[in-house]
Structure 1
């Protein structure tokens, strides 16, 4: 498989991840209405980590890590698993879902900026335009609810921290996967990060575990699907894409999550999709095509092909 076809396959897998993560928005909304938030999150992430570790054992990829590799794993875990999920859960208790989605939509822009500074990842004009397009698309979807930027509270600040620490984790995931198999790094991050979250839940939600055990019925099916498919499989594929494409290009795809969240909310919760939301989706598609460098690569191939033809003549 040549590099172009390989990248295209990675884009397809990323779209699949965006679909299941959009679906997971609805699942998590169902879960937090029933379970204690931080405790549920620690259990959900831990189960995903166990599944991921099991896969790594079956494919015989687990090995000892160097001190430098452990440093990247630890930093990425603190920021991307423990920090992100803690501040996200805490913020959602005092801010709106629409404000949350809008703030999290800054993730691709933040990651691209961090990648350009910390990883020397090139940020062409077309990629900058793409990031802006994608952000505008997400903003048009969210702002139709009438939320105002002036209504920032402590919860909004917490969500911003959750977004920023996840962007930082993408940088260290990229560094770590230069020598560590992305599947192994994902598995270890999930297990270690969920352990930290569980310790936090013991203080934040002392009765959380007993409240979890008391619940029965269909909600556990939602829990399992969210944990195994959205968290374990989703992070497996997403972190592999970071290794393949880079942190900045991969993060642009996160703009699809709010859209697919809206789609599944409409299908399963009866919410209406508006024309403004569909318009936002068009902007998101354009933003991904530009922001991932796909258009840049296409233009370069066309120019190279034209030069070859001219030389042949």
Structure 2
């Protein structure tokens, strides 16, 4: 691949990370206007429609086998239902800045599960990175200085959402060799939205009624979140993985907490505290070291220098 092609992909990934970071802000606004689970079910279904439209345009639509079908439902329970349920409920109860920073733990949690479930090698740098990540979370959730009482239920729910998503990434990796991840994404979003809607009918009896309370601006935000952040964002990210590799693509995820912090300050007027800034710094270093991104970059540069020599 030429340098210009790689540069275009990197620039595109940069803008995807902006949408993903700001999507935390969008979700925070949406759950204050609609009941969270009902809204999330409709948003995920809208995103699924967007993904299938793109798949049809690209000629990638394919009927999965029975085993693939069952596995995708299982993945959807973790990646879509569990993740988005606890994320929407959590952001109702905590700040967008806290939520964005906690979500930044995703790559580290994925690495931890990969170590235990996929027998990934634990290096000194990865161990240090994992410790940095948890130190960052400590700064965020204990920022008020009130000890365990400082942990809000919202913080816990957001952490649980990224915890479940990290498990799903391991499951997806095991099946991605037999099924295109982009196609898998569409089916998972569709299955998940149906299950979330069924849950919303139980936990939010007035959820459908709340969907009629949104202003024009909120509905525009709803469709932007569904199509840009979820549909287009995930499709572009999966495409980038195929072109430049997972290690180089994963480095860009580190930008999400930064854009979530900036968005919370600009659009929600949230005051960013010093402990949050310190937590952000520790999480960034933790993700770069703990996810193996730094080691991959060093190996890549060494191999390139050897090739040039």
Identify the TM-score tier after normalising by the shorter chain: 0.7 to 0.9
Listed as ranges, the gaps of 5+ residues in structure 1 are none
What is the Cα deviation at residue 168 of structure 1?
1.0
Deviations 1:199-245 (A, max 9, x none): 11111222222221343321111111111111212233445567775
Listed as ranges, the gaps of 5+ residues in structure 2 are none
TM-score after normalising by structure 2: 0.81
What is the Cα deviation at residue 192 of structure 1?
1.1
C-alpha distance in 2 between matches for 1:111 and 1:218 = 36
Change (3 A) 1:127 1:14: farther
Change (3 A) 1:271 1:92: closer
- Provide the residue aligned with 1:86 in structure 2: 85
Deviations 1:118-151 (A, max 9, x none): 2233343223333433454565456545464444
Change (3 A) 1:118 1:238: farther
What is the total number of aligned residue pairs between the two structures?
Answer: 308
C-alpha distance in 2 between matches for 1:238 and 1:260 = 17
What is the Cα deviation at residue 256 of structure 1?
3.6
- Provide the residue aligned with 2:39 in structure 1: 40
SS at match of 1:213: coil
Contact 1:170 1:242 in 2 (8 A): no
C-alpha distance in 2 between matches for 1:263 and 1:36 = 25
Change (3 A) 1:6 1:132: farther
C-alpha distance in 1 between matches for 2:15 and 2:134 = 20
- Provide the residue aligned with 1:225 in structure 2: 224
What is the Cα deviation at residue 83 of structure 1?
1.3
- Taking the TM superposition and a 5 Å limit, the aligned residue runs for 1:292-303 are 292-300=291-299
- Provide the residue aligned with 1:194 in structure 2: 193
The range that moved more, 197-206 or 232-241, is: 232-241
SS at match of 1:227: helix
Change (3 A) 1:8 1:119: farther
The range that moved more, 53-62 or 172-181, is: 172-181
- Taking the TM superposition and a 5 Å limit, the aligned residue runs for 1:98-177 are 100=99, 104-137=103-136, 139-140=138-139, 143-144=142-143, 146=145, 148-152=147-151, 157-177=156-176
C-alpha distance in 1 between matches for 2:272 and 2:92 = 25
